Structure 1
Amino acid sequence: MSAPTVVAVVSEELFTEFFSDADAERLRAVAAGLGGGFARVDRLAEAELGAARVVITSWGVGPFDAALLAALPKLELIAHTGATIKPFATDELFDRGVVVTQAGAGMARSVAEVSLTFTLALLHRVPEMHNALRAGDGWYDADAVGVQREILGTPIAVIGASRTGRAYLELIRVLGAEPLLVDPTIDAEAATALGAALVPLDEALQRARIVAVHAPTLPETHHLIGRRELALMPHGAGLVNTARSWIVDEAALIDELQRGRLSAAIDVFDEEPLAADSPFRALPGVLVTPHRAAGTTQGRRRQGRIVADEVEAFAAGRPLAHAVSRDQLSSMA
C-alpha cells in the first residue's frame, strides 16, 4: 500500500457517522491524486506520517506542536470535523503555513433546533410538569408549575450572532418571537437584517423570557452571564445554553435555580460527564442533555461533506470556504 497522503484521525464509529460512502470515496480519490493512499487511525501515533499532506481531525486530538510537526514534514492542510480548533491549533502550525479549516457550519442547524426545543420546553414549563409527575406527585397542581407561555410575541434574548445564533434567530423569528440580539461585533442595521433588535446585555436580560446563549468562548465572555446578570432576569424566565459553560457562572445559576426563580435547559457543563451528585440532576425546573446538541445524523453528515469539499478544494488548488487564520482564531469559539 502507498504511504498515506491523507490521514483521518477519527474513530471508526465517528468516521462512519461523518462520512457517507460517497464522501469517504472522495477522500480516497484525493489521496490517490496526491500520489498516495488514505488511512484512518484512532491516534496520530498509529499513522505513517512522512508522506501525509492532509490530516483530518476530530475531538480529542492534541496540539500540533513542534515535535509532532517534525513528523509531518509534508503537512499542508488540517481539516477539522468539528468547530473549535483551539485545542490543537498552535503558533508553530501557522508559522509552518499549514492551512486549517473546520466544519462548524454543519453543526449550526442541529444545535439551533435543540435550542429551539429547549426554548419551547421552558416556555411551556415542561421540565416542571415532567419532573413532578415522574417523582410521583400525582396530577400536578397547575398553580405550582408557573406561568405557561407561547413563543408568539415573546421577547427572547440571543447572546451572540454566531452561526448557531443566526440559525436559532431564523427559527424563533419564523415562529413569531420578538428577538433581542446582544453582540458587540455587529451594528443595528446588521441585526435588523437578521430580524432582531440590537440591545445592550442588561436590557436584553431584563426584557427577555428566554435567554439563549450562543456566544464564543473568549476571555471577555468568561462568565458573561454571572450572578449580577442572572439577577436581572425576571422571575420565571429561562436560560438556554447549548454553547459552552464558560459563558455562564454555573454556581450562580444553580443558586437561582434552587431558589426557584429561574428555569434552565442546558447541554454543556463545567464538569463533563455531569457528576452523579450534580444539583442540575435533581432540580425540578431544569432540563439537561449530555452535550449532544450537535449529534444529529444530518448534522454529522453535513460536517463530513464540508470536510470532503474542503479537502477536494485544497487538492484542486481552489480557495477553501471554511479556512481559519491565526488572526481569526482569537475571536472564534
Structure 2
Amino acid sequence: MRPTIAVALEEGLRRLFFTAEQWRELEEAGELRICGIDPERLAKELADAEVVVTGWNTPRLEGELLAAAPRLKLVAHTGAALRFLVGDEVFARGIRVSQAGEAMAPAVAEVSLAFTLTLLHRIHRFDHALHSGAGWTRTKYGTLEASELRGSVIGVVGASRTGRAYMELVRALGGVLLLADPMVTAGQAAALGAELVPLDELLERSRIVALHAPAIPETRRLIGRRELGLMADGAGLVNTARSWLVDSDALLEELREGRLDGALDVYDEEPLPVSSPLRGLPNVLLTPHEAAGAVQVRRRQGRIVVDEIGRFLAGEPLRHEMTREILATTA
C-alpha cells in the first residue's frame, strides 16, 4: 500500500510553501490527505498516516490527537520553531521530527543586515521625521550622527545558523565583529571573523547589538534592564530572533527615552496591537515577523520538506532531523 501523508496546513500556507512541481512529487510519494488545522478532522486523517506535514498553526501533537495517530512515524515541519508543536510525548513514541529552518537563515541574515544599516545611518529617524512633516533642516541636523558599517563594532549574541550568516555579511562590509555565545570557543569565533567576549563586554562596546540566540530556558530575558543599561547612548538593538530574549518592558523604556534605537521583527504579542506604543516611536523600525518571508525562502522550505519525506520513505538518513536533545538547545 502507498504510504499516507497528512497535510496539516492551511490552504494559504500550502500554496505558499509548495510549487506545483513539488506538490506533484508529494502526490507521487504517497496518498495525500489534506486535513487543514481543525483538530477533529486532523485526528480523523491521522488514523492511518505515516507522515504529517505541519506548519505554524498546526495543533500541538499530544494527548488524544497523538493517540489518534498510531502509525505516525514522521513529523515534517515546514517551519523552524518546534516547541509549540512537539514535546516528549512525540519523541517517546519513536516519532521522528524534521524541520526546514536551514531555508530561513540567508533571508533573516539579510534583514538583520538591512536593520543594522538602517540604524547606523539613522534612515528610520529621517523617514519618520519627513513623513511626520518635520522641516528639512531640522530633519538633516536634528538627529544623532550617522555611522557607516565599515569599522563599526557589531555585537552578535548567538552563533546560530542565522547568526553565522549575518556575521558573514557584516564581515564582508568591513564591520568589526564581537560574539557572545557560551557554546563557542575563541578559536571557533576567530574562524568566523569575530572576537569572543562576555555578554557584558559585547553590550558595552557594540554600536549595534544583533540577537541570534535560541529561545531556550537559559536565554529567557537574556537582555534585561541591566544589560540594556550597559549599551552606549545612541547604540541600536536588532532582534529578528525571538522576543523571548528581551525584557520588552525594559526595552520600551529605553526606546521611549530615545537613548537607544531599535529594529524589531518579533514581539511578545503577535500581531502587534495597533495600540502598541512601539508604533509611534521615531527611533524604532518595525516589521511584522517577516524576516524570513522572501518567496525564495518559502520555496526552499517546501523543497526541504519534500526531499525529507522522500528520504524517510526510502529508508535514507534524514538531513534536517530534530532529536529531543537538539531541540533542548535550539529555538
TM-score range, shorter chain: over 0.9
SS at match of 1:151: coil
Q: 1:39 aligns with which of 33, 36, 50?
A: 33
SS in 2 for 1:216: coil
Q: Give the SS at the match of 2:299.
A: helix
Structure 1: distance between partners of 2:48 and 2:22? 22
**Deviation of residue 140 (structure 1)?**
4.4
Output the amino acid matched with 1:305. R
1:19 and 2:13 matched: no
Distance 1:296 1:163 in 2: 17
* Corresponding position: 1:270 with 2:264: no
Aligned to 1:134: 131
Does the CA contact (< 8 Å) of 2:9 and 2:57 recur in 1? no
Residue pair 2:171, 2:177 contacting (<8 A) in 1 also? yes
The alignment status of 1:98 with 2:92, answered yes or no, reads no
1:83 is matched with which residue: 55, 80, 94?
80
Could you tell me how far apart the structure 2 residues matched to 1:111 and 1:121 are? 15
Quickly say closer, same or farther: Cα 1:102–1:140, change in 2 above 3 A.
Answer: farther
Does residue 324 (structure 1) correspond to residue 312 (structure 2)? The answer is no
How far has the Cα of 1:40 moved from its partner?
2.2
Give the unaligned 5+ runs of structure 2: none
- Determine helix, strand or coil for the equivalent of 1:186: coil
* CA displacement at 1:3 relative to structure 2: 8.6
* C-alpha separation in 2, matches of 1:169 and 1:73: 44
State, as a whole percentage, how many aligned pairs show the same letter: 52
Aligned letter for 2:94? G
1:113-262 equivalent positions in 2, closer than 5 A: 113-141=110-138, 142-262=140-260
The one-letter amino acid paired with 2:143 is V
SS in structure 1 of the partner of residue 75 of structure 2:
strand
Aligned residue in 2 for 1:74: 71
SS of the equivalent of 1:38 reads strand
**Cα distance in 2, alignment partners of residues 189 and 16 from structure 1:** 44
RMSD: 1.3
Q: CA deviation at 1:315?
A: 0.7
Q: Offset of 1:143 from its aligned partner?
A: 2.9
The separation in 2 between residues aligned to 1:292 and 1:313, in whole angstroms, is 30
Alignment length (residue pairs): 327
Distance between the aligned counterparts of 1:140 and 1:165, measured in 2? 38
Asked if the contact 1:153–1:178 (Cα under 8 Å) also holds between the matched residues in 2, the reply is yes
- d(CA) in 1 for partners of 2:63 and 2:253? 45
Distance between the aligned counterparts of 2:3 and 2:320, measured in 1? 24
TM score, norm. by length of structure 1: 0.95
Do 1:125 and 1:148's aligned partners in 2 also have CA atoms closer than 8 Å? yes
Matched letter for residue 129 of structure 2:
A
AA in 1 matched with 2:53? I
> Counterpart of 1:324 in 2: which secondary structure?
coil
- Checking the alignment, whether the CA contact within 8 Å between 1:243 and 1:268 is kept in structure 2 is yes
Distance 1:144 1:232 in 2: 25
Note the C-alpha offset of 1:49: 2.2
The aligned residue for residue 279 of structure 2 is: 281
Out of 44, 55, 60, the position equivalent to 2:57 is 60
Q: Are the counterparts in 2 of residues 169 and 179 from structure 1 also a CA contact under 8 Å? A: yes
Q: Partners of 1:42 and 1:290 in 2: how far apart?
A: 24
Residue 107 (structure 1) aligns with: 104
Asked whether the 8 Å contact 1:3–1:51 carries over to 2, the reply is no
SS in 1 for 2:200: helix
Unaligned 5+ runs, structure 1: 32-36
TM-score by length of 2: 0.96
**Distance between the aligned counterparts of 1:154 and 1:121, measured in 2?**
13
